[in-house]
Amino acid sequence: MSNTPRNILVTGGCGFIGRNIVNGFADAGHKVTVVDLRCTAFREDVTFIDLNITDKKRLIEVTQGVDSIIHNASIVHTKNNKQDAVWKVNHGGTLNVIEACKINAIGRLVYISSASAVYEGKDIKNGDESLPYSSISQAPYADSKIEAEKAVLAFHGQSSTQVCALRPHVVFGPEDNRFIPTILEKAAAGKLKREIGKRDKLSDFTYITNFIDAIIAAESALVKGSPVSGQAYFITNGEPKPFFEFVEEVLVELGYPTIQGRVPYWLAYSAAAVMEFFDTIRGGDINPEKGVSRFAIRYMVTDHYYSVEKAFSDFGWKPKISLKEGIKLTVADLRKKGMRPV
């Protein structure tokens, strides 16, 4: 492990996960630079650069003198449209990051991947890193993240850059601007009185500070000869539970009633397919899909949870904050901001 202060560049450093990555490395004493689009600076001790990672020339320029890149930038879009836009950023942008590492001899590259890389719409129970990549196309997000991760891991051994990929699943916590807000928006509109399917399938969740701890530990371990270099790792809380049980715990903590009814999977999936169809013929958009894509519906009704033993074995990481505590911390932050049942 290396604790020497380094120049760390974070792509996509202004979103929920990105801000926490930035704070984690800056608080640890590293010099941090953020590359993102239309980002408002949130720390005086961090450099912020307005840049699209699809601009390879500019990316190569701003990464000169960098020791490590945490490549977090991507478009999260699970509807089956807007393929070109998603691939341009998620895959094309990653190839640009790799090229910048090669040209500027950057020592370390941590790619923020996704557990969806191995998901095929079927049950995964305590899956480990020996699982193959998904062999079917489900959504441009998953497809592009798979190819991007492949490119990053294939880069191992081609230059002096040490690389690894981390695969989180459903990251949540204070300041989340996607997952928890979608839940609360639906609850406030009275649209979370029913769950989809039965509570017999387990899903993994990842509290944000646990994920940040894993990123920092993996980056620190990326030295020549380390078992981490060239590897992918699942990073979750390791406490799988039914998706709607998690949702209900959040809602009850905030004072909402429990979920009472149930919608059959086939009906929810059909509704999502119709919504995707009309969205596509209108030209599509890359706004959050609010959990109604076919990909998201499948996620809710299948087992998909993973072992985190490899991360502990290779770089000593284990989650410190339990799922129950993470939910309480998230809800406490929401209450502090004035969130109350409508």
- Cα angle 199, 200, 204 (rounded to 5 degrees) comes to 85
Q: Is 141 a catalytic residue?
A: yes
Q: Which of 246, 244, 261, 240 is nearest to 303 (CA)?
A: 240
Residues 43 and 239: their CA atoms lie apart, in Å, by 33
- Cα angle 31, 36, 39 (rounded to 5 degrees) comes to 95
> Which are the contacts of 93, defined by CB distance < 8 A and separation ≥ 6?
11, 52, 53, 54, 73, 74
Token couple for 196: 């989809």
For residue 112, the cross-strand partners are 166
141, 233, 256, 269: which one is catalytic?
141
Handedness of CA 282, 284, 133, 170 (dihedral sign): negative
- Cα angle 30, 111, 224 (rounded to 5 degrees) comes to 70
Token couple for 324: 């129950």
Handedness of CA 161, 167, 173, 177 (dihedral sign): positive
Q: Which of 329, 296, 75, 77 is nearest to 203 (CA)?
A: 296
Would you name the residues annotated as active-site residues? 141
